[in-house]
Amino acid sequence: MATLKLEIVTPEAKTYSEDVDMVTIPGVDGEMGVFPMHIPLVSQVVAGEVAVRKNGQDFFLAIGDGFVEITASRVAILTDMAIKADDIDEVKAEEARKRAEERLSEKISDEEAAMVSAALAHSLAQLGVKRRHRG
């Protein structure tokens, strides 16, 4: 059976690089499920959850904003954050969310506001992944 090569790369590291059966990506217009032999596509992705299916098992990752390039045999996600579900520290993410929300309610420059909302999106994505898969 055909597989997809999924690559998730952040500025700090290559987080994920494996052959998988299917991947679900949070696109700007909603979730996209990608199977092998997909038509070539380039899209923006928003912070959220990436679901990976491999050998009948599902894995989850939290990712930040970025881009995705899809070809028949490959999915490449470029993002500013990628954390595997098991590595997410819920307490830390929650703290980060609170800090970012507080900061956003203050008066800050556009530049800083953009950075803080990116940080907020990161923590929300992490919390979302963690909460959905608890228990």
Give residues in contact with another protein (CB under 8 A): 7, 9-14, 27-29, 32, 39-44, 67, 69, 71-74, 76, 78, 111, 115
| Shortest Cβ 100–another protein spacing (Å) | 17
Can you tell me the distance from the alpha carbon of 87 to that of 62, in angstroms, rounded to the nearest whole number?
10
Looking at this protein, which amino acid is placed at residue 49?
A: E
| Smallest distance, another protein to C-beta of residue 67, A | 6
Contacts (Cβ under 8 Å, ≥6 apart) of 134: none
Residue 64 or 130 with smaller CB distance to another protein:
64
Structure tokens given for 81 = 């954050």
Q: Which is nearer to another protein, 1 or 13 (CB)?
A: 13
User: Quick one: 9 or 127, whose CB is closer to another protein?
Assistant: 9
Closest distance to another protein from the beta carbon of 103 (Å): 16
Amino acid at 101: E
Mapped onto helix, strand or coil, the DSSP state of residue 35 is coil
Quickly list H helices, 76-134.
90-105, 110-132
